[in-house]
Amino acid sequence: MIRHVVAWKLAATEPAQKAADAAEITRLLSGLVGVVPSIVSLSVGPNMAYFESNWDVVLVADYADLAGLDAYQTHPAHLEVVPQIRALAAERAAVDIEL
């Protein structure tokens, strides 16, 4: 099992816009469940504490194996949301671990 963890710092600095952008990223990525077959589980959402030091949004998704993660990365539905998320994010960090 491969766990894919991605965190974003958003470009917006105003709290209401940051919340709206985090909600949009959550909506976009949640919409991939049931569309991208290799997703075993997916959780995504905005940070809810320690706003001054934590990143703004996180994705935690599981795949059966590295081939499943690769299938997600190249799936047309994922490729469609990537530029929309990039437009809202200032920074991105990712880690993939084997469970």
Q: Give the tens place of pLDDT for each residue, 36-65.
A: 999 999 999 999 999 999 999 999 999 999
Domains, in order of start, for the chain: 2-98 (3.30.70.100)
Q: Please give the pLDDT value at position 83.
A: 98
- Count of alpha carbons within 13 Å of 49, Cβ hemisphere only? 0
User: At a CB cut-off of 8 Å and minimum separation 6, what does 8 contact?
Assistant: 25, 55, 56, 57, 58, 85, 88, 89, 90, 91, 92, 93
d(CA 59, CA 13): 21
- Cα dist from 38 to 5, 34, 70, 81, whole Å: 15, 9, 9, 17
Record the pTM.
Answer: 0.95
